[in-house]
Chain A
Amino acid sequence: MSSELFESCASFAPSPGQEAEGDPWELPRKNPLVFLAEDQDEMRSLIADALQDEGYDVVPIADGQRLRAMLRAADLAVREPPDLLITGVCLPGGNGLDALAELRTRDPFVPAIVITAFGDPASHARARRLGAATVLDKPFPPEELVARVQRLLPPPSEDVAAPL
Protein backbone atom coordinates (compact mmCIF):
# COMPACT_ATOMS: atom_id res chain seq x y z
CA MET A 1 0.00 0.00 0.00
CA SER A 2 2.75 2.39 0.82
CA SER A 3 4.29 2.12 -2.61
CA GLU A 4 0.91 2.77 -4.22
CA LEU A 5 0.50 5.77 -1.99
CA PHE A 6 3.93 7.02 -2.84
CA GLU A 7 3.25 6.73 -6.55
CA SER A 8 -0.13 8.37 -6.26
CA CYS A 9 1.43 11.25 -4.38
CA ALA A 10 4.26 11.71 -6.83
CA SER A 11 2.06 13.59 -9.24
CA PHE A 12 0.13 15.44 -6.59
CA ALA A 13 1.71 18.85 -6.90
CA PRO A 14 -1.12 21.38 -7.18
CA SER A 15 -2.13 21.86 -10.75
CA PRO A 16 -2.45 25.36 -12.14
CA GLY A 17 -5.74 26.84 -11.04
CA GLN A 18 -6.22 24.40 -8.20
CA GLU A 19 -5.88 27.16 -5.64
CA ALA A 20 -8.86 29.17 -4.56
CA GLU A 21 -10.64 30.88 -7.40
CA GLY A 22 -8.56 33.82 -8.51
CA ASP A 23 -6.49 33.71 -5.37
CA PRO A 24 -3.26 35.58 -6.12
CA TRP A 25 -1.64 34.52 -2.87
CA GLU A 26 1.00 32.43 -4.56
CA LEU A 27 1.80 34.99 -7.24
CA PRO A 28 4.41 37.73 -7.10
CA ARG A 29 2.32 40.79 -6.45
CA LYS A 30 2.80 44.50 -6.06
CA ASN A 31 -0.68 45.84 -6.61
CA PRO A 32 -3.28 46.62 -3.96
CA LEU A 33 -5.03 43.50 -2.72
CA VAL A 34 -8.82 43.45 -2.41
CA PHE A 35 -10.83 40.84 -0.51
CA LEU A 36 -14.21 40.69 -2.24
CA ALA A 37 -16.94 38.85 -0.31
CA GLU A 38 -20.16 38.61 -2.32
CA ASP A 39 -22.43 35.61 -2.48
CA GLN A 40 -24.04 36.26 -5.86
CA ASP A 41 -21.78 34.60 -8.40
CA GLU A 42 -22.56 36.95 -11.28
CA MET A 43 -22.14 40.07 -9.19
CA ARG A 44 -18.91 38.77 -7.69
CA SER A 45 -17.50 38.00 -11.12
CA LEU A 46 -18.53 41.38 -12.52
CA ILE A 47 -16.90 43.27 -9.68
CA ALA A 48 -13.79 41.10 -9.65
CA ASP A 49 -13.34 41.49 -13.41
CA ALA A 50 -13.81 45.25 -13.23
CA LEU A 51 -11.24 45.61 -10.46
CA GLN A 52 -8.78 43.26 -12.10
CA ASP A 53 -9.13 45.20 -15.34
CA GLU A 54 -7.93 48.24 -13.38
CA GLY A 55 -4.95 46.31 -12.09
CA TYR A 56 -6.08 45.38 -8.60
CA ASP A 57 -5.47 41.92 -7.22
CA VAL A 58 -8.73 40.41 -6.07
CA VAL A 59 -9.50 37.45 -3.83
CA PRO A 60 -13.12 36.48 -4.56
CA ILE A 61 -14.90 35.00 -1.53
CA ALA A 62 -18.35 33.45 -1.73
CA ASP A 63 -19.45 33.18 1.89
CA GLY A 64 -19.00 34.63 5.32
CA GLN A 65 -17.19 31.68 6.82
CA ARG A 66 -14.49 31.82 4.16
CA LEU A 67 -14.23 35.55 4.66
CA ARG A 68 -13.65 35.16 8.38
CA ALA A 69 -11.16 32.35 7.81
CA MET A 70 -9.17 34.37 5.29
CA LEU A 71 -9.17 37.45 7.49
CA ARG A 72 -8.03 35.38 10.44
CA ALA A 73 -5.32 33.76 8.31
CA ALA A 74 -4.20 37.22 7.20
CA ASP A 75 -4.05 38.33 10.83
CA LEU A 76 -1.80 35.36 11.58
CA ALA A 77 0.40 36.25 8.59
CA VAL A 78 -0.56 33.02 6.89
CA ARG A 79 -1.75 35.01 3.90
CA GLU A 80 -1.25 38.58 2.85
CA PRO A 81 -3.70 41.00 4.48
CA PRO A 82 -6.05 42.92 2.21
CA ASP A 83 -5.53 46.57 1.42
CA LEU A 84 -9.30 46.85 1.06
CA LEU A 85 -12.27 44.77 2.10
CA ILE A 86 -15.44 44.78 0.02
CA THR A 87 -18.22 42.76 1.58
CA GLY A 88 -21.89 42.09 1.27
CA VAL A 89 -24.00 41.97 4.40
CA CYS A 90 -26.10 38.81 4.20
CA LEU A 91 -23.65 36.12 3.21
CA PRO A 92 -24.20 32.38 3.56
CA GLY A 93 -22.18 31.08 6.46
CA GLY A 94 -21.83 34.42 8.20
CA ASN A 95 -22.73 38.09 8.13
CA GLY A 96 -20.28 40.38 6.34
CA LEU A 97 -20.71 43.08 8.98
CA ASP A 98 -19.87 40.58 11.70
CA ALA A 99 -16.68 39.73 9.82
CA LEU A 100 -15.89 43.44 9.51
CA ALA A 101 -16.52 43.92 13.22
CA GLU A 102 -14.11 41.10 14.00
CA LEU A 103 -11.57 42.60 11.64
CA ARG A 104 -11.89 45.97 13.37
CA THR A 105 -10.77 44.43 16.67
CA ARG A 106 -7.45 43.67 15.00
CA ASP A 107 -7.16 46.36 12.34
CA PRO A 108 -9.06 49.60 12.84
CA PHE A 109 -7.68 51.20 9.70
CA VAL A 110 -8.05 48.91 6.69
CA PRO A 111 -10.62 50.57 4.39
CA ALA A 112 -13.89 48.79 3.79
CA ILE A 113 -16.77 49.06 1.35
CA VAL A 114 -20.06 47.45 2.29
CA ILE A 115 -22.60 46.33 -0.29
CA THR A 116 -26.22 46.07 0.81
CA ALA A 117 -29.02 44.35 -1.04
CA PHE A 118 -31.98 46.24 0.34
CA GLY A 119 -30.63 49.57 1.49
CA ASP A 120 -31.47 48.55 5.02
CA PRO A 121 -30.93 51.62 7.27
CA ALA A 122 -29.74 49.48 10.17
CA SER A 123 -27.06 47.88 7.98
CA HIS A 124 -26.01 51.31 6.75
CA ALA A 125 -25.71 52.60 10.28
CA ARG A 126 -23.78 49.58 11.53
CA ALA A 127 -21.46 49.67 8.52
CA ARG A 128 -20.69 53.31 9.23
CA ARG A 129 -20.09 52.58 12.89
CA LEU A 130 -17.62 49.92 11.81
CA GLY A 131 -15.75 52.46 9.76
CA ALA A 132 -16.92 51.52 6.30
CA ALA A 133 -15.75 54.24 3.93
CA THR A 134 -18.61 53.58 1.55
CA VAL A 135 -21.95 51.78 1.68
CA LEU A 136 -23.37 50.91 -1.72
CA ASP A 137 -26.93 49.74 -2.33
CA LYS A 138 -27.55 47.23 -5.06
CA PRO A 139 -27.97 47.54 -7.91
CA PHE A 140 -25.03 49.66 -8.92
CA PRO A 141 -22.81 49.68 -11.98
CA PRO A 142 -19.40 48.06 -11.43
CA GLU A 143 -17.71 51.25 -12.60
CA GLU A 144 -19.22 53.10 -9.64
CA LEU A 145 -17.61 50.63 -7.28
CA VAL A 146 -14.32 50.87 -9.15
CA ALA A 147 -14.43 54.67 -8.76
CA ARG A 148 -14.94 54.28 -5.01
CA VAL A 149 -12.07 51.83 -4.80
CA GLN A 150 -9.80 54.20 -6.70
CA ARG A 151 -10.47 56.88 -4.10
CA LEU A 152 -9.42 54.54 -1.31
CA LEU A 153 -6.38 52.78 -2.72
CA PRO A 154 -3.18 53.84 -4.40
CA PRO A 155 -3.18 53.25 -8.13
CA PRO A 156 -1.98 49.85 -9.27
CA SER A 157 1.21 49.60 -11.21
CA GLU A 158 0.76 50.39 -14.88
CA ASP A 159 2.50 47.17 -15.79
CA VAL A 160 0.16 44.94 -13.85
CA ALA A 161 1.58 41.74 -15.30
CA ALA A 162 5.18 42.47 -14.40
CA PRO A 163 6.70 40.19 -11.77
CA LEU A 164 8.40 41.61 -8.71
Chain B
Amino acid sequence: MSSPGASLRILLAEHELDLRALLAEGLEEAGYGVTAVRDGVALLRSIDGCAGLLEALPDLVVTDVNMPGLSGLDAVALARETIPDVPVLVITASGDEALREQAARVGACAVLAKPFPLESLLALVGRIVAGVARDPSLASPPDSALFVPGGAR
Protein backbone atom coordinates (compact mmCIF):
# COMPACT_ATOMS: atom_id res chain seq x y z
CA MET B 1 0.00 0.00 0.00
CA SER B 2 1.18 3.52 -0.66
CA SER B 3 2.29 5.54 2.34
CA PRO B 4 0.79 9.00 2.19
CA GLY B 5 1.87 9.76 5.68
CA ALA B 6 5.02 7.73 5.98
CA SER B 7 6.67 10.13 8.39
CA LEU B 8 3.54 11.36 10.13
CA ARG B 9 2.69 10.31 13.64
CA ILE B 10 -0.88 9.96 14.85
CA LEU B 11 -1.86 9.73 18.49
CA LEU B 12 -5.10 7.78 18.69
CA ALA B 13 -7.21 7.77 21.87
CA GLU B 14 -10.14 5.39 21.78
CA HIS B 15 -11.65 3.63 24.76
CA GLU B 16 -13.15 0.62 23.01
CA LEU B 17 -10.48 -1.99 22.50
CA ASP B 18 -11.71 -3.55 19.26
CA LEU B 19 -12.36 -0.22 17.60
CA ARG B 20 -9.00 1.11 18.76
CA ALA B 21 -7.26 -1.87 17.23
CA LEU B 22 -9.18 -1.55 13.97
CA LEU B 23 -8.49 2.14 13.61
CA ALA B 24 -4.83 1.76 14.54
CA GLU B 25 -4.41 -1.05 12.05
CA GLY B 26 -6.12 0.90 9.29
CA LEU B 27 -4.03 4.01 9.90
CA GLU B 28 -0.82 1.99 10.04
CA GLU B 29 -1.70 0.24 6.80
CA ALA B 30 -2.16 3.68 5.27
CA GLY B 31 1.39 4.49 6.24
CA TYR B 32 1.01 6.51 9.39
CA GLY B 33 2.88 5.86 12.58
CA VAL B 34 0.28 5.26 15.27
CA THR B 35 0.41 5.42 19.04
CA ALA B 36 -2.87 4.08 20.39
CA VAL B 37 -4.05 4.79 23.94
CA ARG B 38 -7.20 3.92 25.80
CA ASP B 39 -8.35 7.14 27.47
CA GLY B 40 -7.77 10.81 28.06
CA VAL B 41 -5.27 10.32 30.85
CA ALA B 42 -3.14 8.08 28.66
CA LEU B 43 -3.41 10.66 25.88
CA LEU B 44 -2.03 13.34 28.19
CA ARG B 45 0.70 11.04 29.46
CA SER B 46 1.75 10.23 25.94
CA ILE B 47 2.00 13.89 25.02
CA ASP B 48 3.77 14.76 28.26
CA GLY B 49 6.20 11.96 27.56
CA CYS B 50 6.98 13.59 24.25
CA ALA B 51 7.44 17.05 25.74
CA GLY B 52 10.94 18.23 25.18
CA LEU B 53 11.41 15.79 22.33
CA LEU B 54 9.69 17.77 19.64
CA GLU B 55 10.44 15.27 16.93
CA ALA B 56 8.35 12.72 18.78
CA LEU B 57 5.25 14.85 19.25
CA PRO B 58 2.26 13.67 17.22
CA ASP B 59 1.42 15.34 13.93
CA LEU B 60 -2.26 14.63 14.46
CA VAL B 61 -4.40 13.61 17.42
CA VAL B 62 -7.46 11.48 16.80
CA THR B 63 -9.56 11.15 19.93
CA ASP B 64 -12.82 9.76 21.14
CA VAL B 65 -14.85 11.96 23.50
CA ASN B 66 -16.55 9.78 26.08
CA MET B 67 -13.85 7.84 27.85
CA PRO B 68 -13.64 6.81 31.50
CA GLY B 69 -11.92 9.15 33.89
CA LEU B 70 -11.06 11.95 31.52
CA SER B 71 -12.82 12.75 28.28
CA GLY B 72 -10.98 13.33 25.05
CA LEU B 73 -12.01 17.00 25.03
CA ASP B 74 -10.84 17.51 28.61
CA ALA B 75 -7.53 15.96 27.73
CA VAL B 76 -7.08 18.04 24.59
CA ALA B 77 -7.98 21.20 26.52
CA LEU B 78 -4.98 20.62 28.76
CA ALA B 79 -2.76 19.15 26.06
CA ARG B 80 -2.99 22.43 24.16
CA GLU B 81 -0.30 23.71 26.52
CA THR B 82 2.11 21.28 24.89
CA ILE B 83 0.69 20.92 21.39
CA PRO B 84 -0.96 24.25 20.60
CA ASP B 85 -0.73 23.76 16.83
CA VAL B 86 -1.28 20.05 16.37
CA PRO B 87 -4.57 19.35 14.57
CA VAL B 88 -7.13 17.30 16.43
CA LEU B 89 -9.78 15.09 14.88
CA VAL B 90 -12.62 14.14 17.20
CA ILE B 91 -14.48 10.88 16.67
CA THR B 92 -17.67 10.58 18.62
CA ALA B 93 -20.93 8.70 18.91
CA SER B 94 -22.72 11.90 19.86
CA GLY B 95 -21.77 14.34 17.13
CA ASP B 96 -24.47 16.90 17.76
CA GLU B 97 -24.05 20.64 17.38
CA ALA B 98 -23.17 21.18 21.04
CA LEU B 99 -20.40 18.63 20.80
CA ARG B 100 -19.02 20.24 17.66
CA GLU B 101 -18.97 23.60 19.40
CA GLN B 102 -17.13 22.09 22.35
CA ALA B 103 -14.66 20.44 20.00
CA ALA B 104 -14.06 23.75 18.29
CA ARG B 105 -13.29 25.40 21.61
CA VAL B 106 -10.36 23.06 22.18
CA GLY B 107 -9.12 23.72 18.67
CA ALA B 108 -10.32 20.55 17.00
CA CYS B 109 -10.32 20.88 13.22
CA ALA B 110 -12.82 18.13 12.47
CA VAL B 111 -15.49 15.97 14.02
CA LEU B 112 -16.32 12.56 12.62
CA ALA B 113 -19.50 10.94 13.89
CA LYS B 114 -19.60 7.24 14.65
CA PRO B 115 -20.31 4.92 13.08
CA PHE B 116 -18.13 5.59 10.08
CA PRO B 117 -16.35 3.45 7.53
CA LEU B 118 -12.61 3.34 7.82
CA GLU B 119 -12.32 4.98 4.42
CA SER B 120 -14.01 8.10 5.78
CA LEU B 121 -11.48 8.38 8.56
CA LEU B 122 -8.56 7.85 6.19
CA ALA B 123 -9.93 10.40 3.75
CA LEU B 124 -10.43 12.97 6.48
CA VAL B 125 -7.01 12.34 7.99
CA GLY B 126 -5.53 12.72 4.52
CA ARG B 127 -7.28 16.06 4.04
CA ILE B 128 -6.14 17.32 7.42
CA VAL B 129 -2.50 16.36 7.03
CA ALA B 130 -2.47 17.66 3.46
CA GLY B 131 -3.89 20.95 4.64
CA VAL B 132 -1.38 21.19 7.41
CA ALA B 133 1.39 20.42 4.96
CA ARG B 134 0.19 23.23 2.69
CA ASP B 135 -0.51 25.71 5.42
CA PRO B 136 0.65 25.06 8.96
CA SER B 137 -1.61 27.83 10.27
CA LEU B 138 -4.55 25.59 9.46
CA ALA B 139 -3.81 23.60 12.54
CA SER B 140 -4.08 26.35 15.11
CA PRO B 141 -7.64 27.59 15.17
CA PRO B 142 -10.48 25.29 14.18
CA ASP B 143 -11.32 25.48 10.51
CA SER B 144 -15.07 25.32 10.16
CA ALA B 145 -14.74 24.09 6.61
CA LEU B 146 -13.16 20.96 7.95
CA PHE B 147 -15.90 20.22 10.39
CA VAL B 148 -17.50 17.15 8.97
CA PRO B 149 -20.44 15.86 10.94
CA GLY B 150 -21.43 12.41 9.84
CA GLY B 151 -18.43 11.61 7.72
CA ALA B 152 -15.85 12.92 5.31
CA ARG B 153 -17.10 14.98 2.40
Q: Report whether A65 and B44 are in contact in the complex, using a CB–CB cutoff of 8 Å.
A: yes
Of the stretches A11-19, A37-45, A124-132, the one at the interface is: A11-19
Q: Which of B41, B69, B73, B80 has the most CB of A within 10 A?
A: B69
Is A86 part of the contact surface with B, judged by Cβ < 8 Å?
no
Q: Which chain A residue lies CB-closest to B105?
A: A76
Q: Nearest A residue to B71 by beta-carbon distance? A: A20
Stretch at the interface among A1-9, A106-114, A144-152: A1-9
> Is the pair B26, A13 in contact by a Cβ cutoff of 8 Å?
no
What are 22 A-to-B residue pairs whose CB atoms are below 8 Å? Answer: A1-B22, A1-B26, A5-B23, A5-B118, A6-B115, A6-B116, A8-B115, A9-B114, A13-B93, A14-B94, A19-B66, A20-B69, A21-B68, A65-B41, A66-B70, A69-B75, A69-B77, A73-B106, A76-B105, A76-B106, A77-B105, A78-B77
A138 within 8 A of B: no
Partner of A20, one of B18, B19, B68, B115: B68
The answer to whether the Cβ of B143 comes within 8 Å of any Cβ in the partner chain is no
- Cβ contact within 8 Å between A5 and B26: yes
Q: Residues of B at under 8 Å CB distance from A?
A: 15-16, 18-19, 22-23, 26, 40-41, 44, 66, 68-71, 73-75, 77-78, 80, 93-94, 102, 105-106, 114-119
Interface size on A, residues (CB 8 A): 31
A18:B66 contact, CB within 8 angstroms: yes
Please name all residues of chain A whose beta carbon is closer than 8 Å to the beta carbon of B26 when the two chains form the complex. 1, 5
Q: Report if A73-B69 is in contact (Cβ < 8 Å); known contacts: A1-B26, A5-B117.
A: no
Residue in contact with B22 in the complex, picked from A8, A13, A63, A72, CB distance below 8 Å: A8
Give the B-binding residues of A (Cβ under 8 A). Answer: 1-10, 12-14, 18-21, 62-63, 65-66, 68-70, 72-73, 75-79
Give the one of A2, A4, A9, A65 with max B CB within 10 A. Answer: A9
A contacts with B: majority SS: helix
Chain A to chain B: the 8 pairs with minimum beta-carbon distance, closest first: A9-B115, A69-B78, A73-B77, A2-B117, A14-B66, A72-B77, A73-B74, A69-B74
A77 to B102, CA, bound (A): 7
Given A66-B70, A73-B106, A78-B106 in contact, is the A5-B22 Cβ separation under 8 Å? yes
Give the docked Cα–Cα distance between A77 and B94 (Å): 18
Query: Are A14 and B93 within 8 A (Cβ)?
Result: yes
Residues in B whose Cβ lies below 8 Å from that of A2: 117-119
A78 close to B19 (CB less than 8 A): no
Name the one of A65, A75, A78 contacting B73, with C-beta atoms under 8 angstroms.
A78
Cβ–Cβ < 8 Å partners of B23 in chain A: 5
